[in-house]
Structure 1
Amino acid sequence: MKIFKSKRSTNAYPARNRKIFGIWMIGVTLLILGGFVLRFSFVATVGEVDSNNLAKQRQKQYQTDTVLQAKRGAILDKTGNVIAEDSNTYTIFAILDKQSKDSNNKPDYVVDKAKTAKILSRYLAMSEAKILARLTPGKNMYQVEFGTPGTKLSLAIKKQIDAEKLPGIHFRETPSRLYPNGVFASHVIGLAQAQGKSTSLTGVMGLEKQFNTVLAGTNGYRRSRTDAYGYKLPNAKTNLKTAVNGGTVYTTLDSGLQAYLETLMTDVQNKYEPKGMTAVLMSAKTGQILAATQRPTFDASTGEGLGDMWRDSLVEDNYEPGSVMKIVTLAAAIQSGKYHPNDYYQSGSIKLDGGTVNDWRTGGWGSIPLSKAFPLSSNVGMVKIEQAMGAGIWKQYLDKFRFGQKTGITLPGETSGHISFERPLDQAITSFGQGIEVNVMQMLQAISAVSNGGKMLKPQIVSKVISQNGKTKVYKPEVVGQPISKETAAQVIDAMRHVVNDEDGTGVAYKMPGVDLAVKTGTGQIASPQGGYLTGDSNYTFSVAGVAPASDPQYVLYLAMKQPQKMTEPAESILASIFKPMMQRALDTTANGAVTDDTNTATIPAVTNAALTTAQDSLKQANFDVATVGTGNKVVQQLPTSGTKALHGSRVLLLTNGAMTMPDLTGWSKSDVLKFVQLTGKKFKLVGDGFVTQQSIAAGTLLGDTSGTIKFKQQ
């Protein structure tokens, strides 16, 4: 018999089940609602959600903050001429989309491309054809830019282009740093750049980095209460915090001397192509650096050349100084009483500690007195002097002259150098500048003891700093030691006179008629990555240190040149082409910066930022010739700089705010052409010496990125 199960057997109590499910749902719902109530109660009581204060968030939602940008402080030369200051640059762009309209519903795109290209070619270093090509791309584009020529435009150029009222032409503003002198102690002054998305500038090298906190300033803000549409609420207060502009840094640099040194260095760089050069002019009695530069260098206004060398070679590079170090060796020997100038020694070579020290002249000079070792720059003689002192005394004097220690000059990244002094051979070769690594400022500091009557001066690049709150800190000359006496210093100076005045002295190439000069030359070997030293006539660091006038030192000039690739003349002649005119220019200036009286000279007036016609009239009235570069009507840079003393009839170059065009250089001297190259930042191949006879770029041609050739001939 078949048994059938009733449906109630599987769901016997449907009403009860529904009731249980309903109760369960009500419980869950009440639990969730309770959670919401508790959460809302907590939020209402505490006023926070996920650690965010709701009141503050609400205020933020209905307030507008505007950043008030602080102005970065300026870097000035010793007399207040601007070296670096705050500015804005502009990038030009063109809208091509024909749907674009301005607020008056007028076309806001380039309507007449040919006309626009023609007008823009007057202001950009770009041909009309290239501009037109940019305005006529092969595909639909909303807007276009104009590459490098369309960037970093000055406010003056922007205003002139705006005045043309060209539809569709706009500018993007970028906070920038203005370096009006271009190549001008570039690694010393340094750079300030925007970092990441920040609009504020930060010093990334040189004095810009060293004094970034002083220069940067503090941004302010304007805070207003607004409604949802951004309109200010009635009776709402505006909170204002005024921006505090950055302070000011005064350097010790003399703009006239600095610009002249840059010109001389550029000439040597172009002609002989050394892998590196440094040059520093220092006041002998204060330690103040009046001019300082290096090669490779860069144009701070454009950044051109920055990729070739980021380091400041004056403080960040170690090198073996070579025979200039003999100044210190002689000073130490005299001061210690261990110098016996009348003792004879056999020059040429000497064996020591399993090695051999050779003189630069093969075979030497025979048996000669130690008094000849210094003017002849005999390595063997210096070893004999070091041996007479003994390693202990010699090391004491190396310490007294503060080798192996940073000078503390106010520049970032200074190295401390290194002294190898473990073996007798190491100790001996330091006497002629090998086995010891220094930086340029350490050498200048040591030489200052000789030029300043025994008192050693700390090299100084900053004269004073004015902070954001107006407080002034003055950097006074600082004596950091007295390793030798006044009498010893005088004897060393006299020995340096023999270097330049004796017929067989190594410094005869530096002799200057009518100048009481004391010098010491140097030829330092360069260590090879494979061990030992490089060989070859040009694989040295050639150097010279000079003091003038020797009877009452006012200036110390120290030059070093590494591995000239086109060594068509002796190293001494190459360095002398910088040393002699630079020292003469310095000697024409008194210690306080005033130029000596001369009826044939005049002071170049300041015409930067003046109208072109006004500037030309001012210079002509001062009896100077004027050359103009550019199509603008306002002067943005001049060379030589204002305050420089120059001969009547000499040429002053003016760079205007218009597009740069090639002037007629016929008859220009090479020094004037070097000023032109420095002013424009363009690359030219200079052939020959004397005066310009030929130029490959015709006068009036727009100066783009193409380099040209300028030929010279002696008259």
Structure 2
Amino acid sequence: MKIKATNKRLFRIIQVMIIIGTLVSANVLFTMVTKTHIWTGHNVLDSRISNSIVHTTVSAKRGEILDRNGTVIAQDTTAYTVIAYVDSSNVDANGKANYVKHPKQVAKKLKTVLTDIDVDQVADTIQNAKDKGLSQTELGAGTKRISKSKMKKIKKLKLAGIDFEETVTRKYPSTPFASNLVGFATYDEDKQKIVGKLGLEQSLNKYLSGTQGEMTYHQTVSGDVLPGTTNVIKQAEDGANVKLTLDANLQKTVETQLKKTMKDNNAESAWCVVMEPSTGKVLAWTSYPTFNQNTHKTIPTFTNLISESAYEPGSVMKPFTFATAIDTGVYPKDETYRAGSFLYTYDASTKKITRIQSGSTPYPAINDALGEDFGTITFDQALAYSSNVGICELLANYVNYKDYGKYMKKFGLYQKVGTPWINEVAGQKNFSMPMGYLNSGFGQGSSITILQLMQAYTAIFNDGQMMMPYVVDSITDADTGKTIKKYSPTKVSKPISSDTAKQVRELMSHVLDDGAGGEKFKMDGVDMVAKTGTGQIYDSKTGTYKEDTYTSSVMAAAPSDNPKVMVYWGMVSDNYLNYSAEPFKQIMQAALVYEGVGGQDEKNAKKYTSWASYDMPSLLNHSVDYAKEQMNGKKVHVVYIGNGDNVMNQYPNAGQTINSNDRIFVLTDGNSISMPDMTGWTQKDITAFSQLTGITIKTSGSGKVSSQSIEAKQPITSDSVITVKMK
């Protein structure tokens, strides 16, 4: 029985083999007789069939770059390359001739859509393909990886012989978007894939690019793939996605305001970085001039001003000198000095700098900016007025030379920060006695990067703890979502004590006082600390400082007692005296809204997290219903005063700019007024309410209202005595 079963199996196997052999023989015989391939239907004698096997790569999809909320910053999108059929035997689906008959005419028509192409070059490319007996050809520069909209426009021209091959290109939906930071990627003809060429696109290329696959197939002369001949040797692996710490909405605000800064001040360059001092997370990073990442035809500079350009920052360096004096216990808080001009001698044997009132000295006098003479002032006032002479007094008579050098090193200045994936330079330290030492105290003679400055200031804004700035949040697998790398806040060191940091912030709060150096940057209702800087620019060609061009900048943080956000804004321009602080204010306000800090309403009121600006409408002499219609949809908090039906007064006035989370006051003609919940109100809000109602409100402390003497919703009149505490 077993032998018979085995024989049956062998018989069946032999039958199958005979059938397969018969089919193969029939296929060969059919092809020999009919000259037609049985599977594809192609004529085997057709000259367009290639006998070679094509071995090619399969492109991997490049990973996306996203903001912290998942908004796409960079991604691969479908694009199209124009091709021309040049073989007169080529026909379309309807059997009509489909090839380019007149190259020059076709090139001219393509020019109406693809404005950058060279008509003669395109025409010559087509003609050369004809002369070589090719079936089709690409058309060269300006015709590759075009957008879908341009492809559709060309199709509408109905040009015989013109077709498209689908491909991919790199797209930046919101460009310019931190252009020198994010950079750009473009198709590399040699590598036959999209490759990062600048910025994070370049430094993170190994993660973003993925791994290419491999495949083989039979191809016709015209480039068609014969069906059923494709063989995948290796699957392509898509690139990883990169999530940044940047916030797209805030970044757009910064881009807009820097563009305005450049235009209004005829600036050579401008920059802004917004960061969380407690974490080091960079929320916005921009330097101008910038470029369009989708075309990147003209790139004004390949240098990232934030990390790759060393500069002399000017007086924004002064708080570090004060911090050194305070932390080493030598700060002369209650003492005074004579401002105006610092003339000095230097004894090399004792390394002693001695101030003199007059006499001969080989060293140039150091003056306060613009020839100002503040008279006899305290050292506290020295920072508020940004006195260079005050810095010289501290460094010559109080701060130890070696201690100063140690603290600058502890602050991470004149050395690379080490932010992941960011190219940096270290800058140049010049502490040579006596000139280099004195000049460095007010930000001249030595150079640093903006990135170094941001890191150093976190120690002042974060109670002594210095945090490393970082821009990459995570790298994740595009298919599985699995985290490949994760970046977290990094504590670098604690160069100063918490108490020193608080004292320096207190000194910086007076920079915004009326008449002080940073008065123009003061913002109503924002409790802020700041330090301005005006720096000279060294001209390497002449070996001297430029006479009419300076850096103008401001470093600020809010709230002053516990900073949640820090902003460094600046520019290079000849308008260093009368420039507007409005761009900085718009950026700071947007940053505060983002952090949920600025302009918040009563305890339970909604906080708007997106930024918007409006023109205040005219509500005066209209009904309350009309006022509500006008204010509907605006991301502000409206306080209606009184129980009336008509509007008697308003704040702000019509036409003024109002921003997200601002508090708006509308006074009605009602006889009854209820006490509002003033929790979180600023001094500006209190003043507006008092002026509209005529009710006096007494305040104690500073900051925002934390408590009030009359409970909310209680009736109040012009005779009411209201006291609020602020902190």
TM-score, normalised to structure 1, is 0.67
Q: Which deviates further from its counterpart, 333-342 or 252-261?
A: 333-342
Extract unaligned runs of 5+ from structure 1.
Answer: 1-60, 606-622, 625-644, 649-667, 672-715
The match for 1:619 is none
Equivalent residue runs for 1:222-261 within 5 Å: 222-223=215-216, 238=231, 240-261=233-254
The match for 2:515 is 504
Whole-Å Cα distance in 1 between the matches of residues 146 and 229 of structure 2?
40
- Listed one character per residue, the Cα deviations across residues 37-86 of structure 1 (whole Å, up to 9, x for unaligned) are xxxxxxxxxxxxxxxxxxxxxxxx97542322111111110011110112
Report deviation, 1:562: 1.1
Extract unaligned runs of 5+ from structure 2.
Answer: 1-50, 130-136, 347-361, 613-628, 637-654, 659-727
The match for 1:545 is 555
SS at match of 2:307: helix
SS at match of 1:158: helix
2:594 to 582, 589, 602: 589
Whole-Å Cα distance in 2 between the matches of residues 91 and 226 of structure 1?
19
In structure 2, give the amino acid aligned to 1:186.
Answer: S
Whole-Å Cα distance in 1 between the matches of residues 516 and 198 of structure 2?
41
1:314 to 306, 313, 321: 306
In 2 relative to 1, CA 244–646 (structure 1 residues): closer, same or farther, beyond 3 Å?
Answer: farther
In 2 relative to 1, CA 378–593 (structure 1 residues): closer, same or farther, beyond 3 Å?
Answer: closer
The match for 1:516 is 527
Equivalent residue runs for 1:138-287 within 5 Å: 152-155=145-148, 157-158=150-151, 161-162=154-155, 166-171=159-164, 175-223=168-216, 238=231, 240-287=233-280
In structure 2, give the amino acid aligned to 1:546.
Answer: A
8 Å Cα contact 2:250/2:594 also seen in 1: no
8 Å Cα contact 2:557/2:564 also seen in 1: yes
Report deviation, 1:428: 1.4
In structure 1, give the amino acid aligned to 2:468.
Answer: K
Whole-Å Cα distance in 1 between the matches of residues 240 and 372 of structure 2?
61
Higher RCO structure (Cα 8 Å, ≥6 apart) = 1
Whole-Å Cα distance in 1 between the matches of residues 227 and 163 of structure 2?
36
SS at match of 1:527: strand
- Listed one character per residue, the Cα deviations across residues 602-638 of structure 1 (whole Å, up to 9, x for unaligned) are 9799xxxxxxxxxxxxxxxxx99xxxxxxxxxxxxxx
8 Å Cα contact 1:225/1:238 also seen in 2: no
**Is 1:577 paired with 2:582?**
yes
Equivalent residue runs for 1:25-64 within 5 Å: 63-64=53-54
- Listed one character per residue, the Cα deviations across residues 480-512 of structure 1 (whole Å, up to 9, x for unaligned) are 0111111111111111110012x2211110111
In structure 1, give the amino acid aligned to 2:484.
Answer: T
SS at match of 2:545: coil
1:406 to 406, 416, 419: 416
Whole-Å Cα distance in 2 between the matches of residues 313 and 529 of structure 1?
18
Q: Which deviates further from its counterpart, 111-120 or 554-563?
A: 111-120
SS at match of 1:203: strand
Equivalent residue runs for 1:639-678 within 5 Å: 647=635
The match for 2:334 is 342
Q: Which deviates further from its counterpart, 98-107 or 203-212?
A: 98-107
8 Å Cα contact 1:454/1:489 also seen in 2: yes
Identity %: 32
Whole-Å Cα distance in 1 between the matches of residues 394 and 260 of structure 2?
39
The match for 1:492 is 504
8 Å Cα contact 1:604/1:646 also seen in 2: no
Report deviation, 1:383: 1.2
2:456 to 446, 458, 463: 446
Report deviation, 1:209: 1.4
**Is 1:461 paired with 2:471?**
yes
8 Å Cα contact 2:203/2:422 also seen in 1: yes
8 Å Cα contact 1:90/1:152 also seen in 2: yes
SS at match of 1:419: coil
1:368 to 363, 374, 377: 377
Whole-Å Cα distance in 2 between the matches of residues 261 and 417 of structure 1?
26
**Is 1:378 paired with 2:387?**
yes
Whole-Å Cα distance in 1 between the matches of residues 451 and 608 of structure 2?
34
Report deviation, 1:195: 3.4
SS at match of 1:427: helix
SS at match of 1:338: coil
How many pairs were matched up? 543
SS at match of 1:351: strand
The match for 2:445 is 435
Equivalent residue runs for 1:562-711 within 5 Å: 562-564=572-574, 567=575, 570-571=577-578, 573-574=579-580, 576-590=581-595, 647=635
Whole-Å Cα distance in 2 between the matches of residues 425 and 411 of structure 1?
36
**Is 1:85 paired with 2:94?**
no
**Is 1:525 paired with 2:536?**
yes
The match for 1:297 is 290
2:426 to 416, 424, 438: 416
Report deviation, 1:90: 2.8
8 Å Cα contact 1:280/1:292 also seen in 2: yes
8 Å Cα contact 2:269/2:289 also seen in 1: yes
SS at match of 1:280: strand
8 Å Cα contact 2:251/2:285 also seen in 1: yes
Whole-Å Cα distance in 1 between the matches of residues 104 and 229 of structure 2?
52
SS at match of 1:539: strand
In structure 1, give the amino acid aligned to 2:151.
Answer: K
The match for 1:652 is none
SS at match of 2:408: helix
- Listed one character per residue, the Cα deviations across residues 629-671 of structure 1 (whole Å, up to 9, x for unaligned) are xxxxxxxxxxxxxxxx9759xxxxxxxxxxxxxxxxxxx9999
8 Å Cα contact 2:508/2:530 also seen in 1: yes
Report deviation, 1:322: 0.5
8 Å Cα contact 2:291/2:298 also seen in 1: yes
In 2 relative to 1, CA 224–531 (structure 1 residues): closer, same or farther, beyond 3 Å?
Answer: closer
Whole-Å Cα distance in 2 between the matches of residues 231 and 523 of structure 1?
65
Q: Which deviates further from its counterpart, 160-169 or 521-530?
A: 160-169
- Listed one character per residue, the Cα deviations across residues 25-46 of structure 1 (whole Å, up to 9, x for unaligned) are xxxxxxxxxxxxxxxxxxxxxx
**Is 1:478 paired with 2:490?**
yes
Q: Which deviates further from its counterpart, 453-462 or 409-418?
A: 409-418
SS at match of 2:539: coil
Report deviation, 1:363: 5.2
The match for 1:56 is none
In 2 relative to 1, CA 72–328 (structure 1 residues): closer, same or farther, beyond 3 Å?
Answer: same
- Listed one character per residue, the Cα deviations across residues 541-574 of structure 1 (whole Å, up to 9, x for unaligned) are 111101111122111100121134xx3x835x33
Whole-Å Cα distance in 2 between the matches of residues 206 and 192 of structure 1?
9
8 Å Cα contact 2:311/2:447 also seen in 1: yes
Report deviation, 1:236: 9.8
SS at match of 1:274: coil
Report deviation, 1:460: 0.8
Whole-Å Cα distance in 2 between the matches of residues 220 and 314 of structure 1?
38
